[in-house]
Amino acid sequence: MEKAILNVLKKLENNGYESYVVGGYVRDMLLGKNSFDIDIATIAKPKEVRTLFSTFDVKLHEYGNVSFDIDKFKFDITTFRKDIKYKDNRKPEKIVYIDSFKDDLKRRDFTINAICLDSDNNIIDLYDGINDLKKKKIKAIGDPYKKMEEDALRILRAVRFATIFKFKLESDLKSAIIKNKDLLLNLSYERKREELNKIFSSKNKKYGIKLLKELELLDPLELKNIHYVNYTNDLIGMWAMITDKDYAFTKKEKDIIKMVKELLSLDINDILVEYKYGRYPISIVSDLKRLNKKKIMARYERLPIKDKTELEITAEEICTALGKAPDIFLKDILKDIEMKVLLGELENNKKILKDYIKTNY
């Protein structure tokens, strides 16, 4: 265990609070992977944790966990708890803090996420998580049907861990997922997108897609054309193809998605189309249409201008050249030279543009 993590654990313990590292860090360490998100379970109450670590920029969250950063490490400290009753198959309605570390482990999702490390580097593995890591298996803690029903996000977490580590899902867990799949409709698009992005950015995404199909999750996730996930590494480009729902997209993302959809029915080899839509949408669509992206992007980079603001002449200079006050006529002239420069009929050079305007207007 790294020094910074040990220091946090020792500080809690020296103040009389039983504490363990649990979850992702321990799991990843045993898999030989580095991780910097450190989850700690402790008997200390959130406010006590906040006081102990008050020299750091400590955040106290809605569900009572406390987080802060030390160097590259992000600590998330959670008081031993029992989740009472779940609301909308997602949020615990009420959290009760408890004294028993063993009981805290019961509420966790999968055996591989319930392996703990104490400050003497001892591993505590009450649910045989190490064995499941060896067997490459995702297995729920306790009754998988109840676990998936209580919190449908666990369905996607199961697929995410299986995908990233190339693990299998234990057979009862599979059945439990299929049985509860429609609960995914109750989850926020934001949370679903977070998990799906992790699945689709994995080098094992093909396997992830296979699992989503096998577990009959595409319909409840409102996903279609899922094969497009394999065509592009750009997540927004991918989302444009695989759903008609608003997966909590920002305004900027929605604009890109709209452009990508329009571009699909246009000729990307047309200079005017390239110019209108610009670098990013063009690169996404050349992936999606499986065109020669390198060639298309090289041609785009050779365009004489990428935007009308790159014209070497300003509206003011046009007025001076023509001895006229600014008016609506400017719009036509600017459009005319913009197109001629773009198509290579005029060089983007102040003097040449001025001469052209004087001769033609």
Q: Which of 19, 65, 113, 286 binds ligand ATP (CB under 6 A)?
A: 113
The verdict on 338 binding ligand ATP (CB under 6 A) reads: no
The verdict on 104 binding ligand ATP (CB under 6 A) reads: no
The verdict on 125 binding ligand ATP (CB under 6 A) reads: no
Radius of gyration over alpha carbons of the chain, in Å?
Answer: 28
Q: Among candidates 264, 227, 221, which has minimal Cα distance to 243?
A: 221
Binding piece for ligand ATP, criterion CB under 6 A, among 13-21, 150-158, 171-179, 235-243: 150-158
The verdict on 39 binding Mg ion (CB under 5 A) reads: yes
Nearer to Mg ion, 37 or 88 (CB): 37
The verdict on 37 binding Mg ion (CB under 5 A) reads: yes
The verdict on 195 binding Mg ion (CB under 5 A) reads: no
Q: Which of 154, 181, 192, 193 binds ligand ATP (CB under 6 A)?
A: 154
The verdict on 164 binding Mg ion (CB under 5 A) reads: no
Binding piece for ligand ATP, criterion CB under 6 A, among 151-159, 182-190, 206-214, 245-253: 151-159
Binding piece for Mg ion, criterion CB under 5 A, among 2-10, 35-43, 244-252, 302-310: 35-43
Nearer to ligand ATP, 154 or 223 (CB): 154
- 343 phi and psi angles, rounded to 5 deg: -85, 5
- 344 phi and psi angles, rounded to 5 deg: 80, 15
Query: What character string, x for contact with ligand ATP (CB under 6 A) and - otherwise, covers 48-87?
Result: ----------------------------------------
DSSP one-letter code for 100: -
Residue with token string 């649910």:
127
Instruction: Compute the distance between CA of residue 132 and CA of residue 159 in angstroms, rounded to an integer.
Output: 15
Q: Which of 77, 114, 321, 346 binds ligand ATP (CB under 6 A)?
A: 114
The verdict on 109 binding ligand ATP (CB under 6 A) reads: yes
The verdict on 129 binding ligand ATP (CB under 6 A) reads: no
The verdict on 24 binding Mg ion (CB under 5 A) reads: yes
In angstroms, give the least distance from the CB of 247 to ligand ATP: 19
The verdict on 24 binding ligand ATP (CB under 6 A) reads: yes
Binding piece for Mg ion, criterion CB under 5 A, among 29-37, 209-217, 230-238, 250-258: 29-37
Binds 115, which of Mg ion, ligand ATP, none (CB < 5 to 8 A, cut-off by type)?
A: none
The verdict on 192 binding ligand ATP (CB under 6 A) reads: no
Contact yes or no for 119/13 (Cβ under 8 A): yes
The verdict on 237 binding Mg ion (CB under 5 A) reads: no
Q: Which helix (H) or strand (E) holds 92?
A: strand 91-97
Distance of CA 272 to the CA centre of its chain: 33
Classify 158 in phi/psi space as left (phi over 0), alpha (psi -120 to 50) or beta.
alpha
Alpha-carbon dihedral sign for residues 36, 41, 43, 48: positive
Q: Which helix (H) or strand (E) holds 263?
A: helix 251-263
Q: Which two tokens stand for residue 31?
A: 């898999």
Binds 195, which of ligand ATP, Mg ion, none (CB < 5 to 8 A, cut-off by type)?
A: none
Residue nearest Mg ion by beta-carbon distance: 24
- Name the CA dihedral angle for 96, 100, 105, 108, rounded to a multiple of 10 degrees: 0
In angstroms, give the least distance from the CB of 113 to Mg ion: 9
Q: How many CB atoms lie within 10 A of CB 207?
A: 17
- Name the CA dihedral angle for 247, 253, 259, 261, rounded to a multiple of 10 degrees: -20
Instruction: Compute the distance between CA of residue 193 and CA of residue 323 in angstroms, rounded to an integer.
Output: 57
Instruction: Compute the distance between CA of residue 263 and CA of residue 281 in angstroms, rounded to an integer.
Output: 8
Q: Return the SS3 of 85.
A: strand
- Residue numbers of the site for ligand ATP (CB under 6 A)? 23-24, 37, 39, 108-109, 113-114, 151, 153-154
